[in-house]
Structure 1
Amino acid sequence: MAKCEICGKGIVFGKQYSHSHIRTNRKWKPNVQKVRILVDGQPQKTYVCTRCLRSGKVQRAI
Protein backbone atom coordinates (compact mmCIF):
# COMPACT_ATOMS: atom_id res chain seq x y z
CA MET A 1 0.00 0.00 0.00
CA ALA A 2 2.83 2.41 0.75
CA LYS A 3 3.80 3.00 -2.87
CA CYS A 4 3.37 6.10 -5.00
CA GLU A 5 1.58 5.33 -8.25
CA ILE A 6 3.22 8.29 -10.02
CA CYS A 7 6.94 7.96 -9.27
CA GLY A 8 7.02 4.43 -7.83
CA LYS A 9 8.56 5.45 -4.51
CA GLY A 10 8.11 2.62 -2.02
CA ILE A 11 9.34 1.13 1.25
CA VAL A 12 13.12 1.12 1.83
CA PHE A 13 14.72 -1.41 4.19
CA GLY A 14 17.81 -0.93 6.32
CA LYS A 15 19.32 -1.36 9.77
CA GLN A 16 18.71 0.51 13.01
CA TYR A 17 21.75 0.78 15.29
CA SER A 18 21.31 1.19 19.03
CA HIS A 19 23.76 2.92 21.34
CA SER A 20 25.39 -0.46 22.09
CA HIS A 21 25.60 -1.08 18.30
CA ILE A 22 22.96 -3.83 18.25
CA ARG A 23 21.52 -4.03 14.73
CA THR A 24 17.83 -4.56 14.07
CA ASN A 25 15.87 -4.40 10.85
CA ARG A 26 13.69 -1.40 10.13
CA LYS A 27 11.91 0.19 7.21
CA TRP A 28 11.25 3.69 5.98
CA LYS A 29 7.81 4.33 4.52
CA PRO A 30 7.08 7.19 2.12
CA ASN A 31 4.46 9.79 2.99
CA VAL A 32 1.67 8.51 0.73
CA GLN A 33 -1.78 10.12 0.59
CA LYS A 34 -4.93 8.82 -1.07
CA VAL A 35 -6.08 11.74 -3.22
CA ARG A 36 -8.36 12.35 -6.17
CA ILE A 37 -6.34 13.26 -9.25
CA LEU A 38 -7.19 13.74 -12.89
CA VAL A 39 -6.20 10.74 -15.04
CA ASP A 40 -7.03 11.24 -18.74
CA GLY A 41 -9.52 13.93 -17.77
CA GLN A 42 -11.40 11.69 -15.32
CA PRO A 43 -11.13 11.94 -11.52
CA GLN A 44 -9.63 8.86 -9.91
CA LYS A 45 -8.52 8.02 -6.36
CA THR A 46 -4.88 6.97 -6.23
CA TYR A 47 -2.02 6.83 -3.76
CA VAL A 48 0.43 9.70 -4.38
CA CYS A 49 3.47 10.71 -2.34
CA THR A 50 3.63 14.25 -1.02
CA ARG A 51 6.75 14.99 -3.09
CA CYS A 52 4.73 14.47 -6.29
CA LEU A 53 1.87 16.59 -4.91
CA ARG A 54 4.16 19.51 -4.02
CA SER A 55 6.17 19.43 -7.23
CA GLY A 56 3.04 19.59 -9.39
CA LYS A 57 3.50 16.23 -11.13
CA VAL A 58 -0.23 15.54 -10.64
CA GLN A 59 -3.31 17.70 -10.92
CA ARG A 60 -5.81 17.30 -8.12
CA ALA A 61 -9.47 16.87 -9.01
CA ILE A 62 -11.85 19.23 -7.24
Structure 2
Amino acid sequence: MSKRCAITGKGAMSGNNVSHANNKTRRRFLPNLRTIRVTLEDGTTKRIKVAASTLRTMKKNSR
Protein backbone atom coordinates (compact mmCIF):
# COMPACT_ATOMS: atom_id res chain seq x y z
CA MET A 1 0.00 0.00 0.00
CA SER A 2 1.37 3.40 -0.93
CA LYS A 3 2.12 6.06 1.66
CA ARG A 4 -0.42 8.52 0.30
CA CYS A 5 -3.28 10.49 1.82
CA ALA A 6 -6.64 9.29 0.46
CA ILE A 7 -8.18 12.79 0.55
CA THR A 8 -5.46 15.29 -0.37
CA GLY A 9 -3.08 12.97 -2.23
CA LYS A 10 -0.06 14.02 -0.17
CA GLY A 11 2.76 11.53 -0.62
CA ALA A 12 6.41 10.99 0.14
CA MET A 13 8.89 13.71 -0.81
CA SER A 14 12.61 13.32 -1.29
CA GLY A 15 15.51 15.37 -0.01
CA ASN A 16 18.96 15.13 1.50
CA ASN A 17 20.45 14.24 4.85
CA VAL A 18 23.21 16.80 5.35
CA SER A 19 26.00 15.95 7.77
CA HIS A 20 28.19 18.34 9.74
CA ALA A 21 30.84 17.82 7.06
CA ASN A 22 28.24 18.83 4.42
CA ASN A 23 28.00 15.31 2.98
CA LYS A 24 24.66 14.74 1.30
CA THR A 25 22.78 11.44 1.09
CA ARG A 26 19.27 10.97 -0.24
CA ARG A 27 16.34 10.44 2.13
CA ARG A 28 12.53 10.37 2.07
CA PHE A 29 10.12 12.61 3.97
CA LEU A 30 7.03 10.49 4.68
CA PRO A 31 3.61 11.96 5.45
CA ASN A 32 2.17 11.52 8.95
CA LEU A 33 -0.62 9.08 8.00
CA ARG A 34 -3.41 7.97 10.34
CA THR A 35 -5.94 5.22 9.64
CA ILE A 36 -9.51 6.39 10.21
CA ARG A 37 -12.94 4.84 9.71
CA VAL A 38 -15.30 6.65 7.36
CA THR A 39 -19.02 5.92 7.22
CA LEU A 40 -20.37 5.82 3.67
CA GLU A 41 -23.88 6.79 2.53
CA ASP A 42 -25.11 3.19 2.53
CA GLY A 43 -24.16 2.77 6.20
CA THR A 44 -21.00 0.72 5.67
CA THR A 45 -17.66 1.78 7.10
CA LYS A 46 -14.34 1.85 5.29
CA ARG A 47 -10.82 2.39 6.59
CA ILE A 48 -8.74 4.99 4.79
CA LYS A 49 -5.33 6.53 5.40
CA VAL A 50 -5.41 10.28 5.96
CA ALA A 51 -2.60 12.71 6.78
CA ALA A 52 -2.69 14.20 10.28
CA SER A 53 -2.64 17.71 8.80
CA THR A 54 -5.75 16.83 6.78
CA LEU A 55 -7.52 15.64 9.93
CA ARG A 56 -6.71 18.94 11.64
CA THR A 57 -8.11 20.90 8.69
CA MET A 58 -11.27 18.75 8.61
CA LYS A 59 -11.78 19.25 12.35
CA LYS A 60 -11.27 23.02 11.96
CA ASN A 61 -13.77 23.28 9.12
CA SER A 62 -16.42 21.19 10.86
CA ARG A 63 -17.01 23.82 13.57
* Range class of TM-score, shorter chain: 0.7 to 0.9
Equivalent-residue separation in structure 2 for 1:22 and 1:50 (angstroms): 32
| Root mean square deviation of aligned Cα | 1.6
Normalised by the size of structure 1, how large is the TM-score? 0.78
Paired residue secondary structure (1:56): helix
1:7 match: secondary structure: coil
Q: Distance in 2 between matches of 1:4 and 1:50?
A: 9
Give the structure 1 partner of residue 54 of structure 2. Answer: 52
Off by >4 Å, runs of 4+ in structure 1:
none
* AA matched with 1:53: L
Distance 1:39 1:49 in 2: 19
Structure 2: runs of 5 or more not aligned: none
Q: Which residue of 1 aligns with 2:36?
A: 35
Moved more, 24-33 or 40-49: 40-49
Structure with the higher fraction of residues in helix conformation? 2
Per-residue deviation at 1:19? 0.5
- The letter for the 2-side match of 1:3 is R
Q: What is the rounded CA distance, in whole Å, between the counterparts of 2:48 and 2:17 in structure 1?
A: 31
TM-score, structure 2 as length reference:
0.77
| Counterpart secondary structure, 1:46 | strand
